[in-house]
Amino acid sequence: MSEVIDLLAPGSDLSPAGLLVLLVGALLAGGVDAVIGGGGLVLIPLILTCAPGLPAQVALGTNKFTAVWGTASAGLRMIRTVRIDWRAVRLAAPLAGVCSAAGALTATAVNSDVLRPVVIVLMLAVGVFVALRPSFGRATGTAGDAVPRPSRGRLVLGLCLIAVIGAYDGFFGPGTGMFLVIVFTGLMSRTLIQSLAMTKLVNTATNLGGLVVFAAGGHVLWLLGIVLAVFNVLGAQVGAKIVLDRGAGFVRVALLVLIVVMSVKLIVDML
């Protein structure tokens, strides 16, 4: 077993029990990511804890590789059932991916801690808004129903915000999926379920953008990433099915829970 671990994660001090924990963590992270996002909150700390010999950049890069596959699989599962605005996705995904790569490059020169207070305030503001608007993102029809396309002005504003969110994902990251869902729902006239499906596709692009930067720096354990990705995809498929079965009300509750959890984590990290 030690030979296998040395092959997957050389110099990581990863034990067989630690590998098992990572596999379970990847499964759980895939499900969390598919439901609303935030799977990195599960997997990154586990990688750093179970493989203490790895630099933080390698943990982040390996997580990015894993997340690409899980997020993409959840998105593909959802778009089989949910009708989405492909025009918006075709514009948003490459834009967000490029901006994410730029953000990841910037992160090497700037301390991301300066963003924590701003992100906390934004998250809490979004939480209050969603909590006070029970009808936010709800549809009167089924998940497969079409909804009106946004005006050109709303589309342009939405794409500008998505570019900023893409750069934020590469630079810092927490809450990226939540912010994308809010933009697609609030500005582009999508339901929460449609927004979530579109977010998975755009988030795949931002993960790819960040992955390119990490890979260029040699900060990805490819074999370990492949193994974790298999379990992440399995979790993502389960999470996507839960979302499609439970509907917008479940996504709204998951969104509020994520806001609380991530806000608390960011506050604790600042102390």
Amino acid in the structure at residue 117: P
Q: Report the pLDDT value the prediction gives residue 150, as an integer from 0 to 100.
A: 78
How far apart CA 240 and CA 243 sit, in angstroms, is 5
With cut-offs at 50, 70 and 90, classify the pLDDT of residue 149.
Answer: confident
Q: Report the pLDDT value the prediction gives residue 136, as an integer from 0 to 100.
A: 60
CA dist 128 to 117, 134, 168, Å? 17, 11, 22
List, for residues 214-260, the tens digit of each pLDDT value: 999 898 999 999 999 999 999 999 999 998 888 867 877 877 887 78
Structure-model confidence comparison of residues 43 and 93, the more confident one: 93
Structure-model confidence comparison of residues 145 and 105, the more confident one: 105
With cut-offs at 50, 70 and 90, classify the pLDDT of residue 159.
Answer: very high
Q: Report the pLDDT value the prediction gives residue 165, as an integer from 0 to 100.
A: 94
How far apart CA 79 and CA 82 sit, in angstroms, is 5
List, for residues 109-120, the tens digit of each pLDDT value: 666 566 667 767
With cut-offs at 50, 70 and 90, classify the pLDDT of residue 141.
Answer: very low
List, for residues 170-209, the tens digit of each pLDDT value: 887 777 888 898 899 888 878 888 999 999 999 999 999 9
Residue ranges of the domains in the chain? 2-270
Query: Closest Cα partner for 192 from 200, 201, 184, 204?
Result: 184
Which of the residue ranges 15-29, 73-87, 163-177, 217-231 would you say has the lowest mean pLDDT? 163-177
Contact residues for 78 (Cβ-Cβ < 8 A; gap 6+)? 193, 196, 197, 200, 240, 243, 244
Q: Report the pLDDT value the prediction gives residue 198, as an integer from 0 to 100.
A: 95
Mean of pLDDT over the chain: 85
Structure token pair of residue 252: 């709204």
Three-state DSSP string of the chain: CHHHHHHHCCCCCCCHHHHHHHHHHHHHHHHHHHHCCCCHHHHHHHHHHHCCCCCHHHHHHHHHHHHHHHHHHHHHHHHCCCCCCHHHHHHHHHHHHHHHHHHHHHHCCCCHHHHHHHHHHHHHHHHHHHHHCCCCCCCCCCCCCCCCCCCHHHHHHHHHHHHHHHHHHHHCCCCHHHHHHHHHHHCCCCCHHHHHHHHHHHHHHHHHHHHHHHHHCCCCCHHHHHHHHHHHHHHHHHHHHHHHHHCHHHHHHHHHHHHHHHHHHHHHHHC
